Amino acid sequence: MSNPFDLSGKVALVTGANTGIGQGIALALAQAGASIVAVGRSTPTDTQSAVEAAGAKFAFVSADLGTGAPVAEIVEKVAAAFGRIDILVNNAGTIRRADALEFSETDWDDVLDVNLKTPFFLAQAVAKKFIAQGSGGKIINIASMLSFQGGIRVVSYTASKSGIAGVTKLLANEWAAKGINVNAIAPGYFATNNTEALRADENRNRDILARIPAARWGSPSDLGGAAVFLASAAADYVHGITLPVDGGWLAR
């Protein structure tokens, strides 16, 4: 019996793979056999080294995901690098913190563009590629605990991640019959650049850890299993879910 989690021969496009969650997911997919194309503004040197050390092929496409302008070019370059696309991980994201009474329009637009608008149009472009290939494919969006909860002082981030959960369901409804699986992963509180301010705040850090049944911040490697599952044949009949990987946060 073949291994349903084997990604050998697959090509995965991962946005924001230079550090943190994106890096962890890219490495896990590589370890499962996938070739990796990282997309983002900065060259992911460490990610490339780790992926290649795992025996997988790697390419980098430089693009500013704060706008949808480079989407078509991204897909063309990924296809040129490896001839096809099988997996999209919409991971790149940003966050701005301020009280809702003081939140600026710029901070609203900047976050929604990166976290919601570009992921949708990249998913659209990749889905068209899947259909042209006649192969189907897997799309994994990165949601958040704030896809389920409100949070505080991150109004545009909460809006974007709530939107990602909704768009994931809608795309699953439209594309499941085309052989395209669209799902999301909702990381809990992970030790990444985006949570540096929370971890540096002694009171917030203490309160967050007290709420997590696992009693620790997540590590990017903790997301690897969920990503490989949703990218693999093992998830062929899984559509439209937002899978929490949260150390038990939502169960509390």
pLDDT digits (tens, 9 = 90+) for 190-208: 998 878 888 999 999 999 9
Pairing of strands 87-90, 11-15: parallel
Known catalytic residues are 157
**Structure-block tokens of residue 37:** 């194309």
pLDDT digits (tens, 9 = 90+) for 153-186: 999 999 999 999 999 999 999 999 999 999 999 9
Across the range 135-161, mean pLDDT stands at 97
Task: Kindly indicate the confidence band of residue 52, based on its pLDDT and cuts at 50, 70 and 90.
Answer: very high
CATH architecture assignment, domain 11-191+220-244: 3-Layer(aba) Sandwich (3.40)
- What dihedral do alpha carbons 72, 78, 82, 83 form, nearest 10°? -10
pLDDT digits (tens, 9 = 90+) for 61-75: 999 999 999 999 999
What pTM does this model have? 0.96
Phi/psi at 236 (5° precision):
-60, -25
Give percent above pLDDT 70 in the chain. Answer: 100
Give one DSSP letter per residue of 101-136, joined into a string: GG--HHHHHHHHIIIIIHHHHHHHHHHHHHHHHTS-
Longest dimension (CA), the chain: 58
